[in-house]
Copies of this chain bind each other. A is one copy, B any other.
Amino acid sequence: MKTMKRPLAAALLGMAGVLFSASSFAALSEKQISVMDAIKTEVKQDTLSYSLIESLTTEVGSRMVGTPGADLATTWAVNKLKTLGFDKVWIEESQAQLWQRGDLTLQITAPFPHKVVGLALGGSVGTDGKPLTAEVVHFADLAELQAAPAGSLKGKIAYVGYKMERHIDGHGYGKAVGARVAGASAAASKGAVAFLMRSVGTDTDRIGHTGVMRYDEKHPKIPAVAISNPDADLLENMFTRNQPVSFTITTNASGPTGKTVTIANVIGDVTGSTKPNEYVTLGAHIDSWDVGTGAVDDGIGMGIIMAAGHYIAELPERPARTLRVILFAAEEIGLVGAEDYVKRHADDMSQHVMGAEWDFGNGEIYKMEPGVGPTALNAIRDFAEYIAPMGVALASTNTAKGQSDMSLLGKAGQPAVNFAPDGLDYFDFHHTENDTLDKVDQDALKVNTAIYTLFAYFATSSDTDFRK
């Protein structure tokens, strides 16, 4: 790991009084502004968060629940947090369901044979490693599949061709992901023997996008597979020939095994000076899918929040509140680590005064939305005004409940700020082999790390009760 060119503490000493902004921020003290000015200048030039992602992706790589990478990642994270200056570092273990991908081959069998590229969806059953061949029925989207008559897919494979839209805030995902989660059981409910879908992704790579799916226990469990966008195009072109289209799936994906594996949230505290029992939390998830090296999802989040903790730990004067960095386990298979965190911390959840997560996007933050009490909005507005010159607009709404893992803490009452980074290309790589280190935008990463560090400092040094 690289270290800062110039220790932040030294920079702060050198700059005190010089960078003092003329304060127009009612809720920010002159001292806070002075520290924030120094953080902004220093962190934007530093490469710590990138170094952490480089280390994670090189020395650990993918870290799906139940794989050796997941355990390696725990050890890696504990060691790093200690090195970075967190004064308490621990893990909180719980259990998650085991799923194993196994092998997969896919083929358009008729009218024109083609090998096809795709991935089993997370949780999918297999075909016992034997070829399953059936005629394919094409549906435009999940709604069309759900509207198919009962029994109409008996012995067939249902295919949903819905193509995800590209948007800066990633809202195309919400419109596409329903088929991934619920498509297999919708198909099975009509008699289908397997479920195929166009990958939930905005790229044109011959690479499949995986992601979690769920079985409705009322229906038979059938294999669920996402094919790459170019292969989805190819399959759809078959249908224009007005001949039966058939497809073969061969996989030994495990489906629900009934077995559980131990997972671990990795947590580090930078203990506050005067209010150590008030926690400002920064979250990201430590697990990834087994394809790619999880550089973007969620290596970026891990790098940003671990670095932010380091910068706060390095300040010459410790802020009043504790900064808690939480690397949640098993996010990809349904926020399992976050669920454990909330249960385990029910008694002190009221002391969780503010939280933010990073689990989306590769570009610069362009917006922030708070979810705080009406009085606390004043402090949020001051913070937003401070970071506005960094290109971050304050949303007009105040409904944030936390993103990804942090949404469960939000539901449990923790105030939140949601930061929105440019996610235009996020779903090009999401849940694919292509989620690798080269996809990390190093310039955006520096700015985003600075913003999260500023936020961490603002919230830990603030007097504001964000619930009020």
Contact = CB atoms under 8 A, between A and B. Distances in A.
Interface in A24-70: 54, 57-61
Interface stretch (A92-100, A306-314, A432-440): A432-440
Interface string A219-244: 00000000001100110011001000
Contacts of A234: 57-58, 293, 436-437
Contacts of A238: 58
Protomer copies: 2
A114 B293 contact: yes
A206 interface: yes
Contacts of A61: 112-114
A292 interface: yes
Contacts of A327: none
A234 B57 CA distance: 8
A207 B204 contact: no
A205 interface: yes
A266 interface: no
A391 to B, nearest CB: 25
A117 interface: yes
Given A207-B205, A238-B58, A292-B206, A437 B233 contact: yes
B436 A58 contact: no
Contact of A54 (B113, B237, B293): B237
Interface residues of A, number: 30
Interface string A434-448: 101111000000000
A445 to B, nearest CB: 16
B207 A206 contact: yes
Nearest to A236: B58
Contacts of A229: 438
A59 B240 CA distance: 11
A230 B58 contact: no
Nearest to A111: B59
Interface in A406-433: 432-433
Interface string A114-148: 10010000000000000000000000000000000
A206 B433 contact: yes
B112 A436 contact: no
Contacts of A54: 237
B434 A59 contact: no
A205 B205 contact: yes
A300 to B, nearest CB: 16
Interface string A276-292: 00000000000000001
Contacts of A58: 112, 234, 237-238, 241
Interface string A179-208: 000000000000000000000000011110
Given A57-B234, A230-B434, A230-B436, 17 more contacts: A58-B234, A58-B238, A58-B241, A59-B241, A114-B293, A205-B205, A206-B207, A206-B432, A206-B436, A207-B433, A229-B438, A230-B438, A233-B436, A233-B438, A234-B293, A234-B436, A237-B437
Interface of A: 54, 57-61, 112-114, 117, 204-207, 229-230, 233-234, 237-238, 241, 292-293, 432-434, 436-439
9 contacts: A61-B114, A204-B436, A205-B434, A206-B207, A206-B436, A230-B434, A230-B438, A234-B293, A234-B436
